[in-house]
């Protein structure tokens, strides 16, 4: 697959993953491994890019992460091509690479809860069991509001956006998010709670700006 790997790298370098054009294959002929990978890429590229974009809120960086995810997938394609968990593997790699990217610039931002530390000696805030906000979850999952939610999420700071996306959109539990981000569960819960409040306000403003429609 060395030749196919070189071609794939060239496609990424010239036109980014978003515009990768794969040659049509004759349905009567079995696909070789390179063609199978091209089909694999088309099937999963939107999911991988969306995962990276929600966490990074930067198209160029999300494209770079997506490229890296599929280059790693290419190297393990023998295992992935018939695996029923390939999508989950891609999503996990995209999430981890995005978080790794953010961690390189972590000195530039702090978790939202750090702005409201209660202790004088830097101790963690007491852990509060914030219940999941079903209203916000419904707003985030509503298909008719998807583009609006994506824009609102992208406008949040990383400190607010990252824990919120990991919890509501990636389905991670508080302890899993805490482990990935290297913070306490109390911080995770606080950041998610406050991030939801900011997101709700942003969505409300967007909805208020929309022209009202007559009820049929």
Report the SS3 class of residue 192: helix
What are the structural domain ranges in the chain? 2-106, 111-209
Q: Please state, in angstroms and rounded to a whole number, the distance separating the CA atoms of residues 58 and 75.
A: 26
Angle between helices 185-209 and 146-155 (to 10 degrees): 120
| Cα torsion through 17, 19, 24, 29, rounded to 10 | 10
- Quick check: 21 and 37 in contact, CB under 8 A? no
Asked if the 2-106 domain carries CATH number 1.10.1740.10, the reply is yes
Overall pTM > 0.95: no
CA 83 to chain centre: 22
> CATH number of the domain at 111-209, please?
1.10.10.10
Instruction: Write the pLDDT tens digit of every residue in 72-124.
Output: 999 999 999 889 999 999 999 999 999 999 887 655 555 555 554 444 444 44
Judged on CB neighbours under 10 Å (0-12, 13-18, 19+), 27 is: exposed
Encode pLDDT of 150-200 as tens digits: 888 888 888 889 999 999 888 899 999 999 988 899 999 999 998 899 988
């Amino acid at each position: 697959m060395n030749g196919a790997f070189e071609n794939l790298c060239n496609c990424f370098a010239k036109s980014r993953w978003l515009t990768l054009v794969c040659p049509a294959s004759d349905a009567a002929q079995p696909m070789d491994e390179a063609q199978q990978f091209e089909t694999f890429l088309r099937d999963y590229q939107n999911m991988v890019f969306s995962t990276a974009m929600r966490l990074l809120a930067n198209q160029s960086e999300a494209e770079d992460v997506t490229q890296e995810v599929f280059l790693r997938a290419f190297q393990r394609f023998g295992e992935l091509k018939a695996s029923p968990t390939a999508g989950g593997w891609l999503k996990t790699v995209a999430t981890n690479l995005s978080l790794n990217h953010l961690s390189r610039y972590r000195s530039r931002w702090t978790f939202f809860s750090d702005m409201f530390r209660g202790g004088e000696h830097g101790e963690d805030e007491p852990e509060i069991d914030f219940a999941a906000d079903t209203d916000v979850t419904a707003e985030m999952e509503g298909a008719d509001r998807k583009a609006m939610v994506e824009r609102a999420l992208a406008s949040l700071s990383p400190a607010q956006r990252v824990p919120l996306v990991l919890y509501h959109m990636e389905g991670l539990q508080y302890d899993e998010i805490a482990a990935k981000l290297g913070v306490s569960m109390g911080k995770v819960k606080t950041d998610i709670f406050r991030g939801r409040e900011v997101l709700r306000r942003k969505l409300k403003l967007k909805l208020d700006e929309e022209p009202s429609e007559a009820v049929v």
